[in-house]
A and B are shown apart, each in its own frame.
Chain A
């Protein structure tokens, strides 16, 4: 039993070591999805007068300080200025639920618990607006997901999913986004899939959308059946992707083709 325990510990150590090495190797060559876009699209993202996601930012800012009947607005609990950095610290461990939460889930919980609002998925209208507002508040900060050991099993599960072949096309995320990033898939350039700009305004969607929505698109793309809405797999992937992109500059709400 003792041997088994130490073998397990060695395994965990080995896997974290390879992960750290992979992250080190990747950090020199990591590129945001914006780097793969045309100059015109890059301007669409960086110019606040052109970025259509500002429509959601504007609404989120109003929601932040708007009183809900019978409840306090967000701004009553969260001091002004505290918005900056919130997006950079997620996904984080949630004590109450005993599992990690994404920023969107945190907003949703806060709205349910303190404002008695019905739950919304990550693509609910108010949730997208608030997420866009908080993403904007953290623009330019390095992504710093917490180094909480309780997140590690989720991160490892996410990494396994990342490397697992899926769907009728039998493709794993890593085959496109690690091994063929920068190459073409049809007319589109394959990015490295660092989700530094979510929620993002995708021209294909003609609207703002969440990271789970984007991941779902990839699963459908490889002809796999997407995981159920709100399934643990999405969360594990988000935790893994955040660690994979740790230290990269947040640019949300971004524009993507």
Chain B
């Protein structure tokens, strides 16, 4: 399991536009580099990120080799109400990880 950081305001109001900031520990190996033996290092990047609220997608991103290691993604979202936000990263070598956060609404 990769380490993740998920930051959102503790108790936003319904209808409020909030910032959601997520970081995941990932090497984002481009596939364009060689190791010290001259052997190409195979590509190992994240390719998709998706944030869902109660199952429906609220934000989605495609990631590419030029994105640095430990990618940080920030986006805004209008709070629909209390519920569960899930964050899913997918990538090479069958990488898939989902983190969930229970959202309380003031």
Residues of A within 8 A of B (CB): 48-50, 52, 54-55, 58-59, 203, 206-207
Contact = CB atoms under 8 A, between A and B. Distances in A.
13 contacts: A48-B7, A50-B21, A50-B72, A52-B23, A54-B5, A55-B3, A55-B4, A55-B5, A55-B25, A58-B3, A203-B68, A206-B28, A207-B70
Interface in B24-59: 25, 27-28
A49 B21 contact: yes
B70 A49 contact: no
A55 B68 contact: no
B5 to A, nearest CB: 5
B85 interface: no
A224 to B, nearest CB: 19
**How many residues of B sit at the interface, in one of the four size bands?**
10 to 19
Contact of B69 (A58, A59, A207): A207
A207 B23 CA distance: 13
Interface of B: 3-5, 7, 21, 23, 25, 27-28, 68-70, 72
A85 B33 CA distance: 41
Nearest to A201: B70
A48 B5 CA distance: 10
A168 B40 CA distance: 30
B68 A49 contact: no
Contact of A206 (B3, B4, B7, B69): B69
Return the 7 tightest CB-CB contacts between A and B, nearest first. A206-B69, A49-B7, A52-B70, A49-B21, A55-B3, A55-B25, A54-B5
B3 A59 contact: yes
A206 B21 contact: no
A55 B70 contact: yes
A54 B21 CA distance: 13
Contacts of B68: 203, 206
Nearest to B69: A206
A59 B23 CA distance: 14
Nearest to B6: A49
A50 B22 CA distance: 8
Contacts of A52: 23, 70, 72
Contact of B23 (A54, A203, A206): A54
Nearest to A49: B7
A54 B68 CA distance: 16
Contacts of B27: 206
A50 B7 CA distance: 9
A42 to B, nearest CB: 16
Contacts of A206: 27-28, 68-70
Given A50-B21, A55-B23, A55-B25, 15 more contacts: A48-B7, A49-B7, A49-B21, A50-B72, A52-B23, A54-B5, A54-B23, A55-B3, A55-B4, A58-B5, A203-B68, A206-B27, A206-B28, A206-B68, A207-B70
